[in-house]
């Protein structure tokens, strides 16, 4: 690969990373907006996770997960969180 080709690829990478950063900032700002409900927030949280995983895929390919692996991990986290909330609610009712 020539120096020019390497520089072009690096330039594209930096452009993509900049776009991911902008998307992350926009989503984080949107999460503080009230009145759209928990479903919209849940989608934004998932989108943030996908953006973070995209950053890893671009900068640390050996550590990246597939989309299915990420979704499975996020679903497991949501299930554990829901279980904890349910238990806490049951304890408070007793």
pLDDT, one tens digit per residue, over 48-57 is 999 999 999 9
pLDDT for the residue numbered 8 = 94
Would you place residue 86 in the very low, low, confident or very high pLDDT band (cuts 50, 70, 90)? confident
Tens of pLDDT, residues 31-82: 888 888 888 988 999 999 999 999 999 999 999 999 999 999 999 999 999 8
Query: DSSP letters along 23-89, please?
Result: HHHHHHHHHT--SSHHHHHHHHHHHHHHHHHHHHHHH-GGG---HHHHHHHHHHHHHHHHHHHHHHH
pTM of the entire structure?
0.79
């Amino acid at each position: 690969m020539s120096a020019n080709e390497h520089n072009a690829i690096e330039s594209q990478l930096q452009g993509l990373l900049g776009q991911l950063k902008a998307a992350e900032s926009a989503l984080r700002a949107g999460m503080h907006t009230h009145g759209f409900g928990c479903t919209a927030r849940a989608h934004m949280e998932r989108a943030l996770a996908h953006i973070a995983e995209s950053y890893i895929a671009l900068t640390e390919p050996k550590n990246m997960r597939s989309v299915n692996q990420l979704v499975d991990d996020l679903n497991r986290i949501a299930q554990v969180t829901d279980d904890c909330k349910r238990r806490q609610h049951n304890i408070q009712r007793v």
